[in-house]
Amino acid sequence: MQFADRLNNVETSAIRELFKLLGKPGIISFAGGFPDSAMFDVDGIRAAVDQALTEEAGAALQYGATEGYQPLREQLSAFM
């Protein structure tokens, strides 16, 4: 397949290059948006989702304010 010559000057995405590094042994990235899956609290997340869907399914499944869900923001603020 023949592509336009101008495509030879297209640079790769910085994010794509970052994700290539994440597969290398010994790399600990705090910027890749790709945390160690061993750190996920799957049972806790499952319980939180179950509670949200049991108590407020309609609200939990809708789009919300861009600044975030106010009750969660209040809980996080109290926690911090």
pLDDT tens digits along 20-74? 887 788 877 776 677 778 889 999 999 999 999 999 999 889 998 899 888 889 9
Longest dimension (CA), the chain: 59
55 or 16: which leads in pLDDT: 55
In this prediction the pTM is 0.49
10 or 33: which leads in pLDDT: 10
Q: What would you report as the CA-atom Rg of the chain, rounded to the nearest whole angstrom?
A: 20
Domain map (residue ranges) of the chain: 5-79
